[in-house]
Amino acid sequence: MPANQMLWLFFGFSGRISRAAYFLAGLLMMILVVFMVYRLTLAQESGSGGAFWETLLSAVMIASLWAQAALGAKRVHDIDKPGLFAALLFVPLLNFIVFVGLCLVPGTPGANQYGQTTNRPK
């Protein structure tokens, strides 16, 4: 996948993405955050490099929050709803249910107001 498509996937809010793309991109973001937490824990246990990993984890967390919002908005677009519904992903206790729902609910077949096809910018 070209770099511009990766940037769009994780950071753009226009267009639509499929259930599989949403799930896999979300899983990748989760793995990245867990890896950063693991590295920070190791650095703190060894007593060196903790500040570096803490700063990197903070940057990854901010990027991850943005990416989750962008992924959610595009997934909601695929079911022909406004991207603002993706804000439900940030409501505690409701976020897991919304994530699973977005992974399971099929998108609108064919074109809709948010794009002609999935996994491409509008």
Contacts of 1 (CB under 8 A, 6+ apart): 9
**Please, which pLDDT band fits residue 1 given cuts at 50, 70 and 90?**
low
Mean pLDDT across 4-23: 94
Quick one: angle between helices 50-78 and 95-104, nearest 10? 50
42-53 pLDDT tens trace: 999 998 878 899
Q: Which residues pair with 120 in a beta bridge?
A: 16
pTM as predicted: 0.90
